[in-house]
Amino acid sequence: MSSAWKAAGLTYLQYTQLCAAALRNVVKADVAAAFAKRQTTPIKVAKWENGKTVETHEY
Amino acid sequence: MASLIANRQAFAAVRAVATKAPLGYRTRNMATLREVQDRLKSVSNISKITLSMKMIASTKLTRAQRNMEKARAWGQTSQAFVDNAEVASEAEGKTLYMTVSSDSGLCGGIHSSVSKATKRVLAQHPEAQVVVIGDKARTQLQRQFANNVVLTFSQVGKAVPTYAQSCAIAEAIKTSGLEFDKLAITYNRFNSVISYEATVIPAYSEAALARAPQFDAYEVEDDVLANLQEFLLANAIHWAIVEGHASEMAAKRTAMENATKNATEMIDKLTMIYNRGRQAVITNELVEIITGASAL
């Protein structure tokens, strides 16, 4: 059951997120309004070593 | 918290004014009367702010609660799977800890609840690694256990937490190269609108799932196992974040309600003091006029 998305190097979560985004793009306008309200702020990730931040990036 | 401190300061100042001198003496100079008036104004401004914050928290709370019901159903289903498969890695294997809080304050002891629970665990396992979500818990843990922190997330749950965010967190943990058999997620369980408590949701690694005694009953194929593990991990994290968010909103609502109540009480007291002072000034002036007239 090896899938194409796995062969492309995607993880399961990335794959589901892409599918969800694709679905959101094709729904009717009145349903899409509910998605538009949902704002996605990027989250900040910081890596720590020995009590100090060594690396930060956003998702 | 700032408004509470302001409340307390204002209250202390009023008490100082009230206890410094008897009423008649105090009102002789107009400055203190003006002082009381200023204080009255600032306290009523604070109460307006806290009241509107309470309203905002109330509306957010109903939405957060609705979301929580949904996330809980998913979380409990994955938990049921883990229980049925009898997954356990308490004895052997490495446990990674995760603390779920948020960035915003003014909501009572909600953040210290989870960070205290984490501190208790860290005191027992000084080598343990912690992943922290939310700036508040991070600053609290940083003081004592900065060396244990390996990964922090911020700006989570500013609006209603989305599943996409939880997926991103799960992704980040996977790609960070942190190894664990069990991820213990500490979050604030939503008991009711007025009560929350720090609770742990476990999530497991692929190896730990595969080792589980009853795991074969599910007939999971090998290449699907990785997907399942990712899904369970994201579900557990999402459940913790959403329920933590609901608890936070409830706590914020309670905190703001209390602050408003305190401010209202103080406004009453200050108004009383102000009116008494004003009357005393009038009486004084009358006495002066009458004595003046009778001396003629």
- CB interface of B with A, residues 233-252, below 8 Å: 234
> Which residue reads 């942190």 in tokens?
B178
Q: Check if the beta carbon of residue B40 is closer than 8 Å to that of residue B14.
A: no
Beta strands in A1-59 (DSSP E): 44-49, 52-58
Report the chain A residue with the minimal C-alpha distance to residue B142: A51
Q: What is the per-residue pLDDT for B260?
A: 96
Q: What is the per-residue pLDDT for A57?
A: 80
Q: CATH no. for residue B72?
A: 3.40.1380.10
Does the pLDDT of residue B89 top 80, yes or no?
A: no
Does residue B129 belong to any structural domain of this protein? yes
Q: Check if the beta carbon of residue B154 is closer than 8 Å to that of residue A43.
A: yes
Identity of the residue in A14, A41, A45 whose CB atom sits nearest the CB atom of B159: A41
Does the pLDDT of residue B21 top 50, yes or no?
A: no
Q: What is the per-residue pLDDT for B4?
A: 52
Taking residues B85-91, report their average pLDDT. Answer: 70
Would you place residue A59 in the very low, low, confident or very high pLDDT band (cuts 50, 70, 90)? confident
Min Cα distance B223 → chain A (Å) is: 7
Report the chain B residue with the minimal C-alpha distance to residue A46: B152
Alpha helices in chain B (DSSP H): 2-20, 23-26, 30-84, 110-124, 135-145, 163-175, 206-211, 222-295
Contacting residues of A for B151, CB less than 8 Å apart: 45-48
B78 lies within 8 A of chain A by CB? no
Does residue B147 belong to any structural domain of this protein? yes
A2 lies within 8 A of chain B by CB? yes
- CB interface of A with B, residues 14-43, below 8 Å: 14, 16-17, 20, 38-43
pTM over 0.90: no
- Cβ of B226 and A59 within 8 Å? no
Contacting residues of B for A36, CB less than 8 Å apart: none
| Average pLDDT, rounded, for chain B | 86
Report the chain A residue with the minimal C-alpha distance to residue B153: A45
Q: Check if the beta carbon of residue B225 is closer than 8 Å to that of residue B209.
A: yes
- Cβ of A41 and B227 within 8 Å? no
Domain count within chain B: 1
Give the structural domain span for B156: 56-252
Does residue B6 belong to any structural domain of this protein? no
- Cβ of B167 and A13 within 8 Å? yes
Nearest to B273 by CA among B38, B33, B46: B33
**b/e for B254-289, b at 16 or more Cβ within 10 A?**
bbbbebbebbeebbebbeebbeebeebbeeeeeeee
Q: What is the per-residue pLDDT for B31?
A: 54
Within a 10 A sphere around the Cβ of B143, how many other Cβ atoms?
9
CATH top class, domain A4-58 = mainly alpha
Does residue B261 belong to any structural domain of this protein? no
Does residue B237 belong to any structural domain of this protein? yes
| Alpha-carbon span B53 to B260, nearest angstrom | 10
β partners of residue B138: none
pLDDT digits (tens, 9 = 90+) for B231-271: 999 999 999 999 999 999 999 999 999 999 999 999 999 99
pLDDT digits (tens, 9 = 90+) for A42-56: 888 998 888 788 888
Would you place residue B11 in the very low, low, confident or very high pLDDT band (cuts 50, 70, 90)? low
Does residue B221 belong to any structural domain of this protein? yes
Contacting residues of B for A40, CB less than 8 Å apart: 162, 164-165
- Angle subtended by helix axes B222-295 and B163-175, to nearest 10: 120
Overall size of chain A counted in residues: 59
- CB interface of B with A, residues 176-195, below 8 Å: 176
Min Cα distance A31 → chain B (Å) is: 17
- Cβ of B154 and A47 within 8 Å? no
Does the pLDDT of residue B65 top 50, yes or no?
A: yes
Does the pLDDT of residue B27 top 50, yes or no?
A: no
Within a 10 A sphere around the Cβ of A57, how many other Cβ atoms?
10
- Cβ of A48 and B223 within 8 Å? no
B160 lies within 8 A of chain A by CB? yes
CA angle at B37 for the pair B31 and B38, rounded to the nearest 5°: 90
* ipTM value > 0.95: no
